[in-house]
Amino acid sequence: MSDSGSPGAATAGARLDSFSYDDVVVRKFLWATIIWGLVGFLMGLIVAIQMAFPAFNLAPWFAFGRLRPLHTNAVIFAFAGNAIFTGLYYSTQRLLKARMFSDTLSKVHFWGWQAIIVSAALTLPFGFTQAKEYAELEWPIDIAIAIVWVIFAVNVIGTLVRRRERHIYVAIWFYIASIITVAILHIFNNLVIPAGPLKSYSIYAGVQDAFMQWWYGHNAVAFFLTTPFLGLMYYFMPKAAEGPVFSYRLSIVHFWTLVFMYIWAGPHHLHYTALPEWASTLGMLFSVMLWAPSWGGMINGLLTLRGAWHKVIDDPVLKFMVVAITGYGMATFEGPMLSVKSVNALAHYTDWIVAHVHTGALSWNGFLTFGMIYWLAPRLFQAPLFSKKLAEAHFWIASFGIILYVVAIYSAGVTQGLMWRAFDETGRLAYPDFVETVARLVPMYWVRVAGGSLYIVGAILFAYNIFRTWKARPVTYEVPVVKAPPLARVSAPPAHAPAPVPAGAWARFVSLGWHRKWEGLPITFTVLTTVAVVVASLFEIIPTFLIKSNVPTIASVKPLTPLELAGRDLYIREGCFNCHSQMVRPFRYETERYGDYSKPGESVYEHPFLWGSRRIGPDLAREGGKYPDLWHVRHFENPRAISPKSIMPAYRHLLTNEMDFDGIQARVDAMVMLGVPYGEAVTGAPAMARRQAAEVAASIVQGGGESGFESKEIVAMIAYMQRLGRDAQQVVLGTNAAKHVHVDSVAPARAPAAPGGSR
**Given 216, 234, 272, 405, the residue binding other proteins (CB under 8 A):** 234
DSSP 501: P
- Distance of closest approach, residue 282 Cβ to other proteins, in angstroms: 10
- Residue 501 sits in the site that holds other proteins (CB under 8 A): no
Contact between 407 and other proteins by CB under 8 A: the answer reads no
Q: What part of residues 587-616 is at the interface with other proteins (CB under 8 A)?
A: none
The amino acid present at 713, given as its one-letter code, is E
* DSSP calls for 153-192: HHHHHHHHHT-S-SS--HHHHHHHHHHHHHHHHHHHHT-E
**Which of 31, 53, 56, 260 lies at the binding interface for other proteins (CB under 8 A)?**
260
- Residue 248 touches other proteins, criterion: CB under 8 A: yes
Cα gap 129→140, rounded to integer Å:
11
Please name which of 671, 741, 750, 686 lies closest in space to residue 718, comparing C-alpha atoms: 750
Dihedral of the alpha carbons of 700, 704, 707, 711, in degrees to the nearest 10: -20
Instruction: Tell me the angle at which helices 562-573 and 681-702 cross, rounded to the nearest 10 degrees.
Output: 80
Whether 25 and 82 have beta carbons less than 8 Å apart is answered as no
- Is residue 171 close enough to count as binding other proteins by CB under 8 A? yes
- 707 is a contact residue toward other proteins (CB under 8 A): no
**Terminal C-alpha separation, the chain:** 69
Is residue 623 a contact residue for other proteins (CB under 8 A)? no
242 binds other proteins (CB under 8 A): yes
Rounded CA separation 454/405 (Å): 9
For position 548 contacting other proteins by CB under 8 A, the verdict is yes
What string of DSSP letters covers 215-231?
HHHHHHHHHHTTHHHHH
- Tell me if 18 sits within 8 A of 483, measured CB to CB: yes
Distance CA 554, CA 116 (A): 41
Task: Name the one range near other proteins by CB under 8 A: 40-48, 63-71, 232-240, 749-757.
Answer: 232-240
Which one among 161, 499, 733, 749 touches other proteins, defined by CB under 8 A?
499
Task: Give the residue, chosen from 12, 497, 501, 753, that forms a contact with other proteins under the rule CB under 8 A.
Answer: 497
Rg (alpha carbons) of the chain, rounded to whole number: 28
User: Phi/psi at 192 (nearest 5 deg)?
Assistant: -140, 165
Q: How far is the CB of 47 from other proteins (least distance, A)?
A: 38
SS3 555: coil
> Which of 314, 471, 539, 641 forms a contact with other proteins (CB under 8 A)?
539
Closest approach of other proteins to the CB of residue 34, in Å: 21
Contact between 346 and other proteins per CB under 8 A: no
Q: Which among 1-9, 62-70, 209-217, 699-707 is the span making contact with other proteins, rule CB under 8 A? A: 1-9
If one asks whether residue 494 binds other proteins (CB under 8 A), the answer comes out as yes
Residue 625 is classified by DSSP as T
- Cβ-Cβ contacts under 8 Å for 652 (sequence gap 6 or more): 636, 637, 638
Least Cα distance to 669 among 558, 741, 565, 743 occurs for 565
Stretches 63-71, 399-407, 510-518, 662-670: which one binds other proteins (CB under 8 A)?
Answer: 510-518
**Closer CB to other proteins, 498 or 756, in the complex:** 498
Among 35, 357, 390, 532, binds other proteins (CB under 8 A): 532
Touching other proteins, residues 60-99 (CB under 8 A) = 91, 94-95, 97
Integer Cα distance of 63 and 656 in angstroms: 17
Of the pair 64, 525, the CB lying nearest other proteins is at 525
- Give the up-direction half-sphere exposure of residue 19: CA atoms within 13 A in the CB hemisphere: 20
Which element (helix H / strand E) includes 25? helix 24-52
* Distance in angstroms (rounded) separating the CA atoms of residues 83 and 372: 9
Other CB atoms closer than 10 Å to residue 679's CB: what's the count?
Answer: 12
Binding to other proteins by residue 315, rule CB under 8 A? Answer: no
For residue 557, CA distances in Å to 438, 548, 736 come to: 32, 17, 17
| H-run or E-run covering 398 | helix 388-421
CB 16, min distance to other proteins, A: 8
- Minimum CB distance to other proteins, residue 602 (Å): 17
Q: Does 546 bind other proteins (CB under 8 A)?
A: yes
Among 133, 138, 142, 165, which residue sits at the site for other proteins (rule: CB under 8 A)?
Answer: 165
Of 245, 290, 616, 714, the one binding other proteins by CB under 8 A: 245
Max Cα distance, the chain (Å): 96
Select from 141-149, 247-255, 633-641, 740-748 the region that touches other proteins (CB under 8 A): 247-255
SS (H, E, C) 661-697: CCCHHHHHHHHHHCCCCCCCHHHHHHHHHHHHHHHHH
* Out of 118, 510, 732, 738, the residue judged to bind other proteins by CB under 8 A: 510
Following CA atoms 747, 749, 753, 756 in sequence, which dihedral angle do they give, to the nearest 10 degrees? -70
Binder to other proteins among 45, 140, 193, 257 (CB under 8 A)? 257
- For strand 199-202 and strand 17-19, is the pairing parallel, antiparallel, or unpaired? unpaired
In whole angstroms, how close is the CB of 290 to other proteins at the nearest point?
Answer: 14
> What is the phi/psi pair of residue 579, to 5°?
-120, -15
Within 10 angstroms of residue 681's Cβ, the number of other Cβ atoms is 26
Q: How far is the CB of 239 from other proteins (least distance, A)?
A: 6
Q: List the beta strands (DSSP E) in 39-168.
A: none
Tell me the closest approach of the beta carbon of residue 171 to other proteins, in angstroms. 7
Q: Is 288 in the site for other proteins (CB under 8 A)?
A: no
Binding residue for other proteins (CB under 8 A) from 167, 311, 640, 691? 167
Judged by CB under 8 A, does residue 235 bind other proteins? yes
Q: x/- string (CB under 8 A) for other proteins, residues 459-488?
A: -----------------xxxxxxxxx----
Minimum CB distance to other proteins smaller for 207 or for 584: 207
56 binds other proteins (CB under 8 A): no
Establish if 12 lies at the interface with other proteins (CB under 8 A).
Answer: no
CB of 130 to other proteins, least distance (A): 21
At its nearest, how many Å lie between other proteins and the CB of residue 542? 7
Binding residue (CB under 8 A) for other proteins from 150, 535, 555, 641: 535
Q: How many residues bind other proteins (CB under 8 A)?
A: 57
Q: Write the binding mask 190 to 229 for other proteins: x where contact by CB under 8 A, - elsewhere.
A: ----------------------------------------
Give the containing element (helix H, strand E) for 195: strand 192-196
409-411-414 Cα angle (round to 5): 110
Minimal distance, residue 613 CB to other proteins, in Å:
26
- Asked if residue 245 lies in contact with residue 237, where contact means CB atoms within 8 angstroms, the answer is yes
Task: Kindly identify the residues of this chain, within the stretch 635-694, that bind other proteins according to CB under 8 A.
Answer: 675
DSSP assignment of 201-216: EESS-HHHHHHHHHHH
Binding site for other proteins (CB under 8 A): 1, 5-7, 16, 20, 24, 91, 94-95, 97, 165, 167, 169, 171, 234-235, 238-239, 242-245, 248-249, 252-253, 256-257, 260, 476-484, 494, 496-497, 499, 510-511, 515, 532, 535-536, 539, 542-543, 545-548, 675
